[in-house]
Structure 1
Amino acid sequence: MNANSMNRQSTQSTRLVRSLLMLGILGVLFAIPGYSQDSPAKAGKVERIKVHGKGLEGNLAGDSPDRDVSVYLPPSYQTDKKRRYPVIYFLHGFTDSDDKWYGFTKHWINLPAVVDKTLADGKSGEFIIVTPNAYNRYFGSMYSNSVTIGNWEDFVADELVAYVDKNYRTIPQAASRGLAGHSMGGYGTIRIGQKHPEIFSSLYLLSPCCMMPNVPNEQMAPRMEAVKTVADLEKADFGTKAMFASAASWSPNPTKAPFYLDLPVHEGQPQPMVTAKWTANAPLATLDQYINNIKQLHALAFDAGSKDATIAGTNKVLDAMLTNYSIPHTYEEYDGDHINRIGERIEQKMLPFFTKNLSTEMVKGGKKK
């Protein structure tokens, strides 16, 4: 055997040893549970179901009482069949819908993607997350009870919770239920949450709207009164639509077709009774009446962007009121506007908040201490 042949044989032997070593290393790696070449993050599953609302039947707006509901199931839900999970009920904002938040329709946020990322980064525990579609003839329900739009407050607090507990592996107790929402959904969170500490133990409000009565200004009043038909309302600006949604929710009128509501201005004149009704539905005006309920909550947090001036301002009032009553809570104003950092806030604040405060096991009396 000449020198060249010996060198080739030596090189081949070295390559073989290296290959065997590499295969051995890979064998060890692939034996590690959960390891793969790409190490993909586990993703949750999203279902879109229908839930019938008995209290939504016969609403004068003509909206269906069979509501779309998006449900996020965490990654282990499909494999760990005996495990039960805490639930976050998440309420979307005005002109939004559940499909926009859950990736069925392109939108400014994809909630399941945010949750999956937070789980992959180890910042959150696993939750079932439930969002009902509150988009209606008036572009949003305000999560309120009204003959015009149906009993949305009752639907969320009673009917939806009962359905989810019956059909999913939840931990059916207040200590394991959280309520959260953005904008109109933040309003719905404090509206419903302050009345039902026996159902929801922890609340997180993202940029909550409508905390104080939103009475129209002089420029808006003529635009509202110019709306005579459903087609007119469809073409109206955002503020005018919000006025009609508020009226449908808080000042319904079953004899006043086609919208079945009373506006806070009629023929250019303010309507004090309508304004009084709207005030009676403003959380900052009603909070004193629900202080004992709020004291029963396990945890309460809220935030808003500094550039979202009106909402940041009402948050400061809420902060001061809760502080005056010595109620523990967390309030934060961050550099942002109404929507530009909501995904980040959910990831870094809301989900860790519920991870800390929602119970992952049954507790005595259903309330976490």
Structure 2
Amino acid sequence: MLPWSPDFAGRMDHAVIDSPALRGNPLGDPHERPIWVYLPPGYDDDTDRRYPSVYVIQGYTGQLTMWAGRTPFRRPYPEMADAMFARGEAPPAIVVYVDAWTSVGGSQYLDSPGTGRYHTYLCEDVVGWVDARYRTIPARDARAITGKSSGGYGAMVNAMLRPDVFGALATHAGDALFEAAHQPTFPARARDLRDLYEGSYDRFLADFRGRIPGTRSSDMQLMEIYAYASAYSADDDGTVRIPFDANGALVPEVWERWLALDPVRMARRPEYAEALRSMRAVWIDAGTRDEWYLDLGATAFREAVAAAGVPDDRVRFELFDAGHMAIEYRYPLALAWLCHRLTGFSG
């Protein structure tokens, strides 16, 4: 595998979007965000043709430019996607790479008084911006969302929250079944806070922001929980509520706020079950050795999707031999599958 980027068969546009939804966000993060829009081979040749669109969102700590990162003997996802379209393995589509970074590492793609209006940013500002500038088919049945980890979470919940915007989804090891994915980590985080910060998240945040992040072994684990709490359990005034106490035991009223946003539990509610039944396609996968047990979350979400009444022929579910990391080779498989199912809708 050559260690540098080949020429694309399609074209990648790099731009900046000015988001009304992110103006004045509580973290003071930028409201102007980079965006990449991939146009498939042939887009510039037939100026009358319109295309389905697929929105790609990242996991926790994901920043847009990470898509250009290279690892030995492997290719970045945008290159794999371009090669897939060039080989004719999927109908052509516009692929949109979305930035939703926050200064706590992520937003979970939700509207929250702790982070900002990232659900609105995605569903209104980003989708509207793309539809206004590119030859998309501007309809939910020709629009999908896909992501991994927290991006997989965002794909699940945004499709359920806004079925008028997204008509298909793919989740790779998406955050789900919070009892298995998150709750077991709470005692260790309580111990970190006790031993290093006198039990105080405020002390941790002040320390983290006053030095090079990642220079203490507990940094990313503590910040990750804080970011999730900022998305799931922030009060209206922006106060972030942590779901465990000084001993790592659950704080029930806070934990219930987290569980209300668990995709597995959301899928059981009538309004979200109806949204899932409207999906043209639902891809669910995860590695059987996932370190956060998101293979169990994937299985539980698949069961919830079935219980919601989504026909089996609209669902692709697979567990494969891998952990949580380095599963980018799965993304083009889901992208191709989604493109085949979005094709044929003309609006």
Unpaired stretches in structure 2, ≥5 consecutive residues = 1-5, 194-198
Q: Specify the SS of the correspondent of 2:42.
A: helix
**Is 1:178 matched with 2:164?**
no
Q: Counterparts of 1:252 and 1:60 in 2: how far apart (Å)?
A: 11
Q: Specify the SS of the correspondent of 2:255.
A: helix
Alpha carbons 2:141, 2:166 under 8 Å: kept = yes
Q: Supply the AA of the counterpart residue of 1:217.
A: F
Taking only aligned residues, the RMSD between alpha carbons, in angstroms, comes to 2.2
Counterpart among 346, 351, 359 of residue 331 in structure 2: 346
Counterpart among 249, 254, 264 of residue 243 in structure 2: 264
Q: Counterparts of 1:231 and 1:63 in 2: how far apart (Å)?
A: 20
Q: Specify the SS of the correspondent of 2:14.
A: strand
The structural deviation recorded for 1:69 is 1.3
Alpha carbons 2:61, 2:106 under 8 Å: kept = yes
Q: Counterparts of 1:190 and 1:123 in 2: how far apart (Å)?
A: 25
1:81-100 correspondence runs (5 A): 81-100=47-66
- Give the equivalent residue in structure 2 for 1:292: 274
Alpha carbons 1:41, 1:120 under 8 Å: kept = no
Q: Counterparts of 1:208 and 1:218 in 2: how far apart (Å)?
A: 23
Structure 1 segments of 4+ aligned residues over 6 angstroms from their partners: none
In the superposition, the TM-score normalised over structure 2's length comes to 0.84
Alpha carbons 1:124, 1:355 under 8 Å: kept = yes
Alpha carbons 2:41, 2:86 under 8 Å: kept = no
Q: Specify the SS of the correspondent of 2:81.
A: helix
Alpha carbons 2:37, 2:95 under 8 Å: kept = yes
Q: Deviations over 1:240-293 (max 9, x none)?
A: 12101101111124657xxx4121234446422211111111111221111111
**Greater CA radius of gyration, 1 or 2?**
1
Unpaired stretches in structure 1, ≥5 consecutive residues = 1-39, 364-369
1:104-183 correspondence runs (5 A): 105-106=69-70, 110-183=76-149
Q: Deviations over 1:11-58 (max 9, x none)?
A: xxxxxxxxxxxxxxxxxxxxxxxxxxxxx9862221222112222222
Q: Counterparts of 1:157 and 1:267 in 2: how far apart (Å)?
A: 38
Q: Counterparts of 1:42 and 1:230 in 2: how far apart (Å)?
A: 44
Taking only the aligned residue pairs, the percentage that are identical comes to: 25
1:184-263 correspondence runs (5 A): 184-213=150-179, 214-215=182-183, 216-224=185-193, 225-227=199-201, 228=203, 229-232=205-208, 234-235=213-214, 236-253=218-235, 260-263=239-242
Q: 1:218 to 1:291 in 2, by over 3 A?
A: same
Alpha carbons 1:85, 1:360 under 8 Å: kept = no
Q: Specify the SS of the correspondent of 2:108.
A: coil
Q: Specify the SS of the correspondent of 1:169.
A: coil
